[in-house]
Amino acid sequence: MTTSLGDFYTLVEDSIGRSTSVTSLIPLRVRMAAEWIERNYTFQYMKQWRTFDVSASATYPHILSLAGLKVKAVELIRRRQANLDADGGYYFSPALKPLKPQDRSRRSNGVPESYWLNGLSSIVLNTIPDEDMTFEAHLIELTEWGSSSTWTHWLLDNATHMLLVRTVMMMGATRLRDPKLWEVYKAELDLELASFKCFQESVEAVEVVAQWEPPGYDTYPDFRQET
**pLDDT tens profile 38-76:** 999 998 899 999 999 999 999 999 999 999 999 999 999
Question: For 64-78, 88-102, 145-159, 192-206, which range has the lowest pLDDT when averaged over its residues?
Answer: 192-206
Single pTM value for the model: 0.78
- At 183 the pLDDT is 83
Distance CA(126)–CA(123), nearest Å, equals 10
| Residue 137 CB-density burial (10 A; 0-12 exposed, 13-18 middle, 19+ buried) | buried
- At 154 the pLDDT is 93
- φ, ψ at 79 (rounded to 5°): -95, 135
**pLDDT tens profile 4-38:** 999 999 999 888 876 666 788 899 999 999 999 99
Q: Please give the residue that has the higher pLDDT: either 104 or 191.
A: 191
Q: Please give the residue that has the higher pLDDT: either 169 or 22.
A: 169
Q: Is the dihedral of CA 175, 33, 162, 191 positive or negative?
A: negative
Q: How confident is the model at residue 85 (pLDDT cuts 50, 70, 90)?
A: low
HSE-CB for 109 with a 13 A CA cutoff: 6
Q: How confident is the model at residue 217 (pLDDT cuts 50, 70, 90)?
A: very low
Distance CA(146)–CA(152), nearest Å, equals 8
